[in-house]
Amino acid sequence: MLIKNRNESMELVMLKLLHARMKLTGSEQQHHLNLKKGLEGEMKFDSLISNLNSKFLILNDLLIESNKTTFQIDSLLITQDAIIPFEVKNYEGNYYYQDKNFYICSTGKEITNPLHQLNRIETLLRQFLQKHGFNFSIKGYLAFVNPEFFLYNAPQDEKMIFPPQLNYFIKNLNMKPSNLNSLHRKLADLLIQAHISESPYTRLPTYHYDQMRKGITCAACQSFLLSVGERIALCDQCGHKENIQEAIIRSVEEFKLLFPDKKVTTNEVYDWCQLVQSKKMIGRILRQNYQATGYGQWTYYK
Ligand SMILES: [Zn+2]
């Protein structure tokens, strides 16, 4: 049973908005790309293990705080006899393994050892479970999900699952017994309760209203090339069509997310959306979809 699903992190949502509307530095762009790729890999893994959801309890994307330490588990399976945390990697291209470390072939650069990450998760999870009186054995895996990943000199380590091994691994899991009882369910509840929704490590670039590109972006491709008609906004880039009211509400939500301290007024939204010709229409959409506060020219919306 799928107990907890995965959402796009707020950090990724915000970076996507910022990326569309301002120039990010090289390292910010790289960070954005890494988060995006990480999520793609995790979603791929989700669909692989979704076959198991009739047998085991599945919890995706947990962020647990315990003893002032935070640790993230990409996916976690609760099976009859073991708790299985997965660290999912969407690495792409050629890497090599040497002296128990991972390197990128093209640059020779060492990367953070994903096995160490997995060990850390196992240790912290074990402590967390013991603290709450659970005594399950923990057996974590490192799952490489990208078929275009290759590791030279890979060790024969049963903790690592390489792309060609994934299906076989899942097939084997599927043959395990699955008599789950109330203790397993209790453990799932505990993990859900302990889950904190936002990482304390989120770092966003600094940004100001004035440096943002204004306008409505395409919901599908984030391009600004929209032809806005009476009722429909049409993306010249990808052809995506959106009802104009929905597009404006989406833009207002982006505005609120990026500038939580600014008041949502007709004038602000008019400036933010740019392309929309009629202030009257914006006023009407705000009145219909938000709660008005204040009076006359001082009206703002929540
Ligand atoms: Zn588009």
Torsion-angle region of 93 (φ positive above 0: left; ψ -120 to 50: alpha; else: beta): left
Ligand 1: distance of its center to the CA of 27 in Å?
26
pLDDT for 92: 96
Reported as half-sphere exposure (CB side, CA atoms, 13 A), residue 84 has a value of 20
Task: Supply the Cα-derived Rg of the chain in whole angstroms.
Answer: 24
Ligand 1: distance of its center to the CA of 37 in Å?
20
- 3-class SS at 216? coil
Ligand 1: distance of its center to the CA of 136 in Å?
49
Per-residue pLDDT tens, the chain, 302 aa: give them: 999 888 888 889 999 999 999 999 999 999 999 999 999 999 999 999 998 988 999 999 999 988 888 999 999 999 999 999 999 999 999 999 999 999 999 999 999 999 999 999 999 999 999 999 999 999 999 999 999 999 999 999 999 999 999 999 999 999 998 899 999 999 999 999 999 877 656 778 999 999 999 999 999 999 987 888 778 889 999 999 999 899 999 999 999 999 989 999 999 999 999 866 678 888 899 999 999 888 777 788 88
Cα–chain center distance at 109: 26
Q: What is the DSSP letter of 211?
A: G
pLDDT for 259: 93
Query: Residues of 143-153 as b/e, b for ≥16 C-beta within 10 angstroms?
Result: bbbbeebbbee
pLDDT for 24: 94
pLDDT for 236: 92
Residue 243 to residues 163, 230, 282, Cα–Cα distance (Å): 41, 9, 14
Ligand 1: distance of its center to the CA of 109 in Å?
37
Query: Residues of 116-133 as b/e, b for ≥16 C-beta within 10 angstroms?
Result: ebbeebbebbbebbeeee
d(CA 188, CA 76): 10
Cα–chain center distance at 238: 24
d(CA 209, CA 230): 27
pLDDT for 46: 96
Ligand 1: distance of its center to the CA of 246 in Å?
15
d(CA 129, CA 124): 9
Provide the angle, in degrees to the nearest 10, between the axes of the packed helices 244-258 and 279-289: 80
Ligand 1: distance of its center to the CA of 218 in Å?
5
Ligand 1: distance of its center to the CA of 236 in Å?
7
Q: What is the DSSP letter of 217?
A: P
Residue 74 to residues 93, 121, 149, 279, Cα–Cα distance (Å): 22, 10, 19, 45
Ligand 1: distance of its center to the CA of 127 in Å?
47
> Nearest-CA neighbor of 84 among 105, 66, 111, 62?
62
Ligand 1: distance of its center to the CA of 233 in Å?
10
d(CA 95, CA 93): 7
Structure tokens at 62: 């947990």
Ligand 1: distance of its center to the CA of 20 in Å?
12
